[in-house]
Amino acid sequence: MSERALFIDYARCIGCQACVQACEECDTHRGQPMIHLETIRRRDSVQTAPQVCMHCEDPICAQVCPADAIKKGPDGVVHSALTHRCIGCSNCVLACPFGVPKYFAAIDQMMKCDLCYDRTSVGKKPMCATVCPSQALTFMTPEELERTRRGRAVNEWVFGEERVRTKVSVVVPHEVKEVHVNLVQLGKRREKAEPDDVAALLEEG
Amino acid sequence: MAKLPIVTERLIEEFGPHLNTVPPGGFAPVGEPDRVVETHCCFCGQQCGIKLKVKENKVVGFEPWEEFPFNQGKLCPKGVKRYMQDEHPDRLKAPLLRAEGRGFVPTSWDDALDRTARAIKSIQEKHGKAAFAMLGGASLTNEKAYLVGKFARVALGTENIDYNGRLCMVSAAAASKKVLGIDRAANPWSDIPKAEVILVAGANIAECAPITTDYLWRARENGAKIIVLDPRMTPIARTADLYIPVRSGGDIGIFNGMLHVMIERGWIDRKFIAEHTTGWDALEKVLERYTPEHAGKIAGVPPRLIVQAAELWGPARSSFLLHARGIEHHSKGVDNCMAAINLVVATGRIGREGSGYAMITGQGNGQGGREQGQKADQLPGARDIENPEHRKHIASVWGVPEAVLPRKGLSAVEIFEAIHAGKIKGLLSICFNPMVSLPDQDFVREALEKLEFYATIEFFMSETARHADVVLAGSLLEEDEGTTTNVEGRVILHRKVVDPPEGARADWKIICDLASRLGYVNKFKYDSPRDIFEELRRASAGGISDYAGITWDRIEREHGVFWPCPSEDHPGTPRLYEGGRFGHADGKAHFQPVEWRPATEEPDEEYPLVLTTGRVVAHYLSGSQTRRIGGLVKQVPEPFCEMHPRLADKLGVSEGELVTVESRRGTVTVKAMIVRTIRPDTVFVPYHWPDERAINRCTIKALDPVSKIPEYKICAVRVRKATAEEAAAR
């Protein structure tokens, strides 16, 4: 059987922030959550989305780091910046296509989600995926995911011209083979009626 | 006295709520704890398993408890941060006496208990036993709830004992008893993922029962269709197969309308109805009028949504219906629930794997809290206080003549009405914070101020405790041991994690100490909560909620035992009504025909909007605990008023702007939160906050005639931009 891996299933997320509250309980960064929970557009919808580090095969954060402070282990886990090397320049914060690394001014360092290395390296699940009430974040084998989820797991991303493969996968509808993020469209207002507008649902027809 | 001894600001300065933002020892890694204790979360009826880490008798952190079957390690933010209520700067560590102009001063336990006992005796001698009331709570363990009921009936001799479950589960309880014969979720949660169609009515599962979310999503992965009824598009509703934005209080339109369509299309189980039910003909007659058009008008939704719901629900082979406060908090709360249950029974899809029904219990021990006898109309074992056989059994367990047991007393809100009217002069409360949780806050305050004597058992100075003459410093759940009964009817064990701080005392000991001062030392001789549980087993034996076969050892071994469990070799009963055998004496389900009627206060020209209230995920009930936990307050720092952009445009209000919500009873000024996910004729404000932030200043003191639950989910309000004075007063 394959190793267990982390999956994000956005359709399940209920925005409860259990992941954020639990992330900051981890001994390696206690008091500071590394996970992000995005409220997409609260005015229009209750949709939310958790964002952990995707642990890129060729991490962009490491590529842009001038101090060579960001290391990927043989198990594919991309770690927080090495304390002695990180110069706090925030290149990684700006470059990460998923917006994951965080700069902490108090310590002039970057820190990020390291897949709960203290837990996963000893066979436990990451904290966020353990507590997540909706299991939008889940830690299981790909076979188990295949068996228990309707969608398929995808770890291929296309950002404009750039292709990225990640250790963490997202669960998407079966017809989707890779996730295209068209940067030009970000922030553009939708023309059509909002799908989650209750007033529209109440209208006849 | 029951008036504030000094101004609120000074009380807050001394007793909080202050925020606990840093765990004991700071944010340094916990390292190896001395002990890791497997126990349960205190916040909500799901009662998730959790492990608490202990170092030097301090709770220093948590660890998910993945082996506990209900939640398998999953927790909501309240569960994650629950340990931050320990080692809290606001923790009460001595009995306190009210001191006019000074606030509260510590005293000895003997003095505090003597004063309380003297006041009780003096009031009862002058005004009769019933002039002293007691209020309990559904966050208490079964043992404490049992003790509260026994203390009130035996030591106080008062009929006026009720509990804050009156604000929570009583409509569901009454409806379930009337139709099905037993007040309990009919199925274990493990049945939910096996259903083909799931109907969620008035339950914001994502925020109020987050762990249930995974059960729903597992059903969906298996192909289930999900229908959600709610005036707000909740996170579950967002991706439901059918979301019906029902007008608050219009649920009967949906349920009766669905059943009307199902009869027309032949989607009811006539064989099951004939063999296992009564009352169908009367129901069918009522349903004739509930055409989709008529039903749609009642529900405030397009009729086609009702037809679609019937098309999903009707022909399914298995189904599960879940409801919560959204349909229960009404002056027709019992009727709403009965209409929902009719929909289940008419299909015969109950009492088998993957098919059934459940109310989603809200409070920590919402289920057990109402079974052990602290409810005005019940004795332990969910027995009826007016039933001579039931009275005889309990009287014999307690060793008192049946005649001395009081009869049915007043419900929680009625107790406050009687206090206001000067009929009840004294009050003892535990685990109940009416100065946040009861409707029409000005009335509640007026009532409290009329009390001659008020004592309360509390671990934090709640908003209500501020009015007390004596505050008895009690215990947190983790500072004692005892059982609770979760949302499924599974009896579980809270292990003792740490000792209470020096100066505070375990709740059960305080109650026993008071009983002995009232002359009942022999009736309250217990060594431990386990000792109380042993008596509770005997008291519940032969009752509806029969715990006779449940032992603490079994609970530990089996990860909980479902009642009824009449003997130690009985496996417990995860699923009720198997084989179509219902809880009534005739073994049948009793259909209850239900007609819709308006709410007590519908919107009108003067107050044109529907106000509905509820919870947010970061807070629990009156917030007395969660408003003291930094991480949770950061997540949701204050109440807000959700309104649709169409309404906001009409009012000229923009996002985050302060608005004043006004009803005939009071006003509250909060920030506007403008969202398309709510009906344009409705506003929503969460209720966890006190004083000038309390939306319960606006809500109405209207009760369901049967369950006596207040109508929190609908009253009439108007909303406008806040004035400069109102904004400044916040």
B562-602 pLDDT, tens digit per residue, is 999 999 999 999 999 999 999 999 999 999 999 999 999 99
Percent of chain B with pLDDT over 90: 98
> What residues of B are in contact with residue A46 (Cβ under 8 Å)?
233-235, 238, 675, 677
- Taking CB atoms and an 8 Å limit, are A43 and B675 in contact across chains? yes
Strand B49-55, strand B35-40: pairing = antiparallel
**B278-310 core/surface letters (b: 16 or more CB in 10 A; e: else):** ebbeebbebbeebbbebbbbbbbbbbebbbbbb
Q: Tens digits of per-residue pLDDT, B661-685?
A: 999 999 999 999 999 999 999 999 9
Q: Is residue B164 part of a domain?
A: no
Do B146 and B373 contact (CB within 8 A), yes or no? yes
Residue A187 pLDDT exceeds 80: no
CATH of the domain at B718: 2.40.40.20
What pLDDT score was predicted for residue B367? 96
| Distance in Å, alpha carbon of B255 to nearest chain A alpha carbon | 18
Q: Tens digits of per-residue pLDDT, B326-349?
A: 999 999 999 999 999 999 999 999
What pLDDT score was predicted for residue B24? 85
What pLDDT score was predicted for residue A183? 63
| Distance in Å, alpha carbon of B43 to nearest chain A alpha carbon | 14
Residue A193 pLDDT exceeds 90: no
- Taking CB atoms and an 8 Å limit, are A135 and B220 in contact across chains? no
Range of B613's domain?
Answer: 609-728
Residue A191 pLDDT exceeds 60: no
Cβ neighbours for B96, distance < 8 A, ≥ 6 positions apart? B104, B105, B106, B107, B112, B470, B471, B473
**3-class secondary-structure state, position A130:** helix
CATH of the domain at B516: 3.40.50.740
Q: State mean pLDDT over B418-445.
A: 98
**How much is the mean pLDDT over chain A?**
92
Q: Is residue B592 part of a domain?
A: no
From B359, B385, B404, give the residue that closes a domain: B359
Residue B455 pLDDT exceeds 80: yes
Residue B30 pLDDT exceeds 80: no
| Dist CA A122 CA A77 (whole Å) | 14
| Distance in Å, alpha carbon of A66 to nearest chain B alpha carbon | 30
Same domain, B49 and B110: no
From B296, B329, B359, give the residue that closes a domain: B359
- Taking CB atoms and an 8 Å limit, are B676 and A196 in contact across chains? yes
At CB < 8 A and 24+ separation, what contacts does B261-268 make? B261/B292, B261/B306, B261/B307, B261/B310, B261/B311, B261/B314, B262/B310, B262/B313, B262/B314, B262/B346, B262/B347, B263/B287, B265/B310, B265/B314, B265/B315, B267/B310, B267/B313, B267/B314, B267/B315, B267/B347, B268/B314, B268/B346, B268/B347
Do A85 and A176 contact (CB within 8 A), yes or no? no
From B62, B85, B108, give the residue that closes a domain: B85
Cis upstream peptide for B17 (omega within 30°)? yes
Q: Tens digits of per-residue pLDDT, B599-651?
A: 999 999 999 999 999 999 999 999 999 999 999 999 999 999 999 999 999 99
Q: State mean pLDDT over B167-187.
A: 97
Same domain, B193 and B291: yes
Do B545 and B382 contact (CB within 8 A), yes or no? yes
Considering only CB atoms, B217 lies closest to which of A130, A134, A203, namely: A134
Q: State mean pLDDT over B500-512.
A: 97
Same domain, B191 and B155: no
φ, ψ for residue B617 (rounded to 5)?
-65, -25
Q: Which chain B residue's Cα is nearest to A31?
A: B27
Same domain, B81 and B100: no
Q: Is residue B564 part of a domain?
A: no
Two tokens at B43? 């916040």
Q: Which chain A residue's Cα is nearest to B247?
A: A202
Two tokens at B655? 């996002």
Q: Tens digits of per-residue pLDDT, B532-555?
A: 999 999 999 999 999 999 999 999
| Dist CA A74 CA A15 (whole Å) | 33
Q: Domain total for chain B?
A: 4
Number of separate helices (H) and strands (E) present in chain A: 7, 9
- Taking CB atoms and an 8 Å limit, are B300 and A28 in contact across chains? no
Same domain, B410 and B430: yes
> What residues of B are in contact with residue A148 (Cβ under 8 Å)?
218, 221
Q: Is residue B450 part of a domain?
A: yes
Q: State mean pLDDT over B123-145.
A: 98
Confidence of residue A184 (pLDDT cuts 50, 70, 90): low
Place of tokens 């629930």: B337
- Taking CB atoms and an 8 Å limit, are B676 and A42 in contact across chains? no
Residue B510 pLDDT exceeds 80: yes
Q: State mean pLDDT over B2-26.
A: 93
Q: Tens digits of per-residue pLDDT, B189-226?
A: 999 999 999 999 999 999 999 999 999 999 999 999 99
- Other CB atoms within a 10 A radius of the CB of residue A186 amount to 7
Same domain, B78 and B136: no
What pLDDT score was predicted for residue A162? 87
CATH of the domain at B240: 3.40.228.10
**How much is the mean pLDDT over chain B?**
97
- Taking CB atoms and an 8 Å limit, are B644 and A198 in contact across chains? yes
Considering only CB atoms, A133 lies closest to which of B30, B66, B211, namely: B211
What pLDDT score was predicted for residue B31? 80
Residue B519 pLDDT exceeds 80: yes
Percent of chain B with pLDDT over 70: 100
| Distance in Å, alpha carbon of A21 to nearest chain B alpha carbon | 6
Same domain, B680 and B543: no
Considering only CB atoms, B73 lies closest to which of A16, A131, A150, namely: A131
Same domain, B235 and B288: yes
Q: Is residue B724 part of a domain?
A: yes
- Other CB atoms within a 10 A radius of the CB of residue A118 amount to 16
Q: Which amino acid is at B469?
A: D
| Dist CA B507 CA A42 (whole Å) | 43
What pLDDT score was predicted for residue B584? 98
CATH of the domain at B24: 3.30.200.210
Q: Is residue B409 part of a domain?
A: yes
Same domain, B197 and B281: yes
Q: Which chain A residue's Cα is nearest to B80?
A: A22
**3-class secondary-structure state, position B677:** coil
What pLDDT score was predicted for residue B243? 98
Same domain, B415 and B508: yes
Residue A186 pLDDT exceeds 60: no
Same domain, B219 and B326: yes
CA torsion angle A4 A8 A13 A19 (round to 10): 60
Region of A156 (left: φ > 0; alpha: ψ -120 to 50; beta: rest) is beta
Q: Tens digits of per-residue pLDDT, A16-60?
A: 999 999 999 988 898 999 999 999 899 999 999 999 999 999 999
**3-class secondary-structure state, position B310:** helix
Q: State mean pLDDT over A62-79.
A: 96
What pLDDT score was predicted for residue B391? 98
- Taking CB atoms and an 8 Å limit, are B238 and A24 in contact across chains? no
Q: Tens digits of per-residue pLDDT, B260-292?
A: 999 999 999 999 999 999 999 999 999 999 999
What pLDDT score was predicted for residue A195? 79
> Pick from B725, B713, B717: which is nearest to B658 by CA?
B725
> What residues of A are in contact with residue B635 (Cβ under 8 Å)?
17, 21
Same domain, B205 and B285: yes
